[in-house]
Structure 1
Amino acid sequence: MINQAILDKLKKQVIVSCQALDNEILHGSDIMAKMAIAAEQGGAAGIRANSAKDVRAIKGAVDLPIIAIIKAVYPNSDVYITPTIKEVDELAVLQPAFIAMDCTWRKRPKETLEEIVAHCRMHYPEIMLMADCGSYRDAELANNLGFDILGTTLSGYTEETKNVSLPNISLVEQMVANFDRPVFCEGGIHTTDEMNRAFAAGAHTSVIGGAITRPNEITQYFVSHIGK
């Protein structure tokens, strides 16, 4: 169910993705909560977070809408962003503003997307559903299934989109032109110019991650440009 008040607050604003995987130096819910506080102080309008533990910590630290996900790997499936009802249920008890999930045509580990969406609508109608898409075909699927938000999150990260340049502004334009749903541009935004190009293309919100929250990648970028 669309929460228009939350969407209005996110209009042409920045959501910061505060995530660190197990093998990253900043991994830990206490660190991610502090990262979210820093993002809020910097003017972020929302947070994207991975794992129930991190979502809980961040909800206790900031008063911002959260896009909640759980990254979980299952055998024989490339789908890992909130892939099953199990992960949905773990997040829903925390009542985030959004739950995002993989909305590609790839083989799923358990339930179908139709079954997951139906489960969410029946049990958690107050939580908005965000479709993490890789392609326009994915966005058509998400639109037909009734997702509240379309995202470009997986563009460049699926087999059919692995050679796409990011951020995928053309996908934003296609989504905006053909679907009457807010489009969140996510993936590959590293500069203010790229962010503003996404907004000019009609993106409702820009989700920015590594350019803000991964100091190792930021450092590598600067080091790689020494003398250039």
Structure 2
Amino acid sequence: MKNKVFEQLEGNLIVSCQALPDEPLHSPYIMGKMAHAALLGGAKGIRANSVEDIREIKKTVNLPIIGIIKEVYEGSDVFITPTMKEIDLLCQEKVDIIALDATKRVRPDGKIISEVFPLYREKYPEQLFMADCSTIEEAEEAYRLGFDCLGTTLSGYTEYTKGKELPDTELIAKMVERFDIPIIAEGGIWTPEELRSVFEHGVHCAVVGTAITRPMEITKKFMSAIEG
């Protein structure tokens, strides 16, 4: 079963369908339609946030889903599937892959990834887990811990990687070279040319989100071209 999911995703595009509470498209219904549009456009996987959105997406889309729950806890910068509570909810929803922050940052419970991930794996031995990383050192630790796939998702989004040029092809190349599990390029892919470039580095698949599914951010990017 595990291999089947990665076979479906190999060489293909995953579209991230997310809208934050302060965005006009924040709605499970709209994210369901967005995912359906991505399916019709040729996407072979969906990344989605929240149980509500995932349930709606499943009504019309039969593609592998990378599920996350974004939850902000006071005192921690980790908010992508940060605790066992979110892991439990996503496992109950039977998403194909659960993605979580695998950075070195301290989590809401005061622990680091090396302390919590073994507990997740022990409780859900058959679940596929994706490590959202920001550095090669974090990817190495996630690989050692036994994650099923590694993503470049958080490069440029941690305090110590701010300012990195995205997509982070340097990190992508290092990860592809060092690890024998699927590497998923994610973060800052804005154009078809950039998407092609990350595949040329040998990634298993790639996630594109904002450039496809967040019209407010897309509009801002066009506005910056004429304002600046």
Q: With structure 2 as the length reference, what TM-score do the two structures score?
A: 0.95
Count of paired positions: 227
Q: Is the 8 A contact 2:51 2:89 kept in 1?
A: yes
Deviations 1:147-192 (A, max 9, x none): 0010000000001100210000110110111111110000000011
The corresponding residue for 1:174 is 174
Instruction: Report the CA distance between 1:193 and its aligned residue.
Output: 1.0
- Contact persistence 2:105–2:112 (CA under 8 A): no
Partner of 1:130: 130
Number of the residue aligned with 1:17: 16
Q: Within the alignment, does 1:221 sit opposite 2:221 as a pair? A: yes
Partner of 1:73: 72
Structure 1 distance, partners of 2:106, 2:121, is 22
Q: Could you list the per-position Cα deviations for residues 74-95 of structure 1 after superposition, in whole angstroms to 9, with x for gaps in the alignment?
A: 1211111000000000111011
Task: State, as a whole percentage, how many aligned pairs show the same letter.
Answer: 52
Aligned to 1:165: 165
Residue by residue over 1:80-128, the C-alpha shift from the partner in whole angstroms, topping out at 9 and shown as x without a partner, is: 1000000000111011110000001111111543454333333323321
Question: What CA distance in whole angstroms lies between the structure 1 residues aligned with 2:183 and 2:70?
Answer: 22
Deviation (angstroms), 1:57: 1.3
Q: What is the match of residue 205 of structure 1?
A: 205
1:18 is displaced (CA, Å) by 0.2
> Which runs of no fewer than 5 residues in structure 1 stay unpaired?
none
Match of 2:186 in 1: 186
- State the match for 1:61 in structure 2: 60
Q: Which residue of 2 aligns with 1:153?
A: 153
Structure 1 stretches of 4+ with a deviation exceeding 6 A read none
Q: Which runs of 5+ in 2 are unaligned?
A: none
Following superposition, the deviation at residue 4 of structure 1 comes to: 1.1
Corresponding residue for 2:27? 28
Larger mean Cα displacement after TM superposition, 213-222 or 72-81: 213-222
In 1, Cα distance between equivalents of 2:222 and 2:164? 24
Deviation of the 1:223 alpha carbon: 3.3
**Secondary structure in 1 aligned to 2:181?**
coil
Amino acid at match of 1:165: E
Aligned CA-pair RMSD: 1.6
TM, length-normalised to structure 1: 0.95
Give the Cα separation in 2 of the matches to 1:115 and 1:135. 19
Cα offset, 1:227, TM superposition: 9.8
> SS state of the match for residue 167, structure 1?
coil
Deviates more, 1:142-151 or 1:215-224: 215-224
